[in-house]
Amino acid sequence: MIPAFKTRERVRQIVITGNPNSGKTTLFNALTGLRQKVGNYPGVTVERKEGHLSFDDGSEAILVDLPGTYSLTPNSPDEKVTTDILLGKLKDGSLPDLVICILDASNIERHLYLATQIIDSQIPVVLALNMIDTAEAAGVKIDTTRLERSLGVRVVPTIGTKGIGIAGLKHAIAEKHPGRLPSRSLNLPKVVEEELDELIGLLKQYRGIPPPAALHEAVDLLSSNNGHSTGHGPLSQEILDHVRKDRERLDFLEIDRPSVFVESRYAWIKRSCQDAITRPPEGGISFSDKLDRVLVHRVWGYVIFLTLMGVMFLSVFSWSAIPMEWIGGGF
């Protein structure tokens, strides 16, 4: 990240991330105002947007609006910029001091996929539950206190477009965020858990990979058939042999390697959200559903239909006399 110094204390490096269209740029603008600088990341044509964040006590932080990504497995150069920064894969091995992860509250389970991956990576994180207005309009209620308890991180509700919750978000950013203890938000079969822990140990020991990247790289190696590294140089023969044996063992046990990690994460998310999210009954009743209920009702449907037909009949035969008189009077 950018080396920035202010008198004696190092200025905190904070990054904003989240799925595309979750409201990252809107919240970035609300937090930084007009104090922004736009450039490119070195070596790629991906826009880099940076701003200054000032706190009540006079201290400042640098805020970077990272490109959006759905997970920590990148599918484009933009997403690679984000995942490299979040996993400490930059050349100098630096990690952000804090990650602000923006979630679309009306799509919370899907957006928690990336958020829980970041929580697993053990970088201090604050979740901004944005678009609370859209969620409420859809009848979704989220108890942020309960969500905080189940996820173990700060959760702040916001409506970026209206500037609601910005003060609360700034407050949460300013708090002290102790590094988290390792508690993975995965709920894996025991045998997968064992293989994963063993491989993480090997990757840390032999390659000096930082913990966030080691967990992620181990998951990547076990779930795919890739023989290549995910960004920390080539793998040693010893690790490759170990990975091959792990894969054979899991395949023999008929564990679906590509989906076991994804499914267990979603299962974990579902469980943690259970008590915190209330949805409208019957999967949400929209306005048109409500209208349908009355208009196609067995009794009221006919009453409304006959009334409308009656009004049309009257309008043609009786009320038309009035405009006809006007027209007649005009000649």
Distance, first Cα to last Cα, the chain: 83
The one-letter amino acid at 178? P
Query: Which of 133, 148, 193, 220 touches ligand GDP (CB under 6 A)?
Result: 133
Q: Under rule CB under 6 A, how many of the chain's residues touch ligand GDP?
A: 16
Of 24 and 216, nearer to Mg ion (C-beta) is: 24
d(CA 123, CA 278): 29
Distances (CA, A) of 110 to 16, 273, 301: 18, 12, 39
Task: Label residue 138 exposed, middle or buried (CB < 10 Å: 0-12, 13-18, 19+).
Answer: middle
Of 88 and 160, nearer to Mg ion (C-beta) is: 160
Closest distance of CB 16 from Mg ion, Å: 9
Of 74 and 212, nearer to Mg ion (C-beta) is: 74
73 scored as a contact of Mg ion (CB under 5 A)? no
d(CA 211, CA 230): 14
Stretch that binds ligand GDP, among 52-60, 156-164, 191-199, 252-260 (CB under 6 A): 156-164
Of 51 and 210, nearer to Mg ion (C-beta) is: 51
106 scored as a contact of ligand GDP (CB under 6 A)? no
The neighbouring-strand residues paired with 100 are 16, 126
Of 25 and 224, nearer to Mg ion (C-beta) is: 25
Classify 37 as helix, strand or coil: strand
22 scored as a contact of ligand GDP (CB under 6 A)? yes
Q: Give the distance between the most distant pair of CA atoms in the chain.
A: 102
Question: Quick one: tokens of 184?
Answer: 């993975």
Of 85 and 235, nearer to ligand GDP (C-beta) is: 85
Between 212 and 241, how does the x/- string for binding to ligand GDP read (CB under 6 A)? ------------------------------
130 scored as a contact of ligand GDP (CB under 6 A)? yes
Site for ligand GDP in 24-43 (CB under 6 A): 24-26
Closest distance of CB 170 from Mg ion, Å: 19
187 scored as a contact of ligand GDP (CB under 6 A)? no
Site for Mg ion in 8-67 (CB under 5 A): 24-25
Alpha helix (H) residue ranges in the chain: 24-32, 77-86, 108-120, 132-137, 144-151, 166-174, 190-207, 211-223, 237-252, 257-273, 287-295, 300-317, 321-330
Q: Within a 13 Å sphere around the CA of 237, how many CA atoms are in the beta-carbon half?
A: 0
The values of phi and psi at residue 297, to 5°, are -65, 145
Footprint on this chain of Mg ion (rule: CB under 5 A): 24-25
Footprint on this chain of ligand GDP (rule: CB under 6 A): 18, 20-26, 68, 130-131, 133-134, 159-161
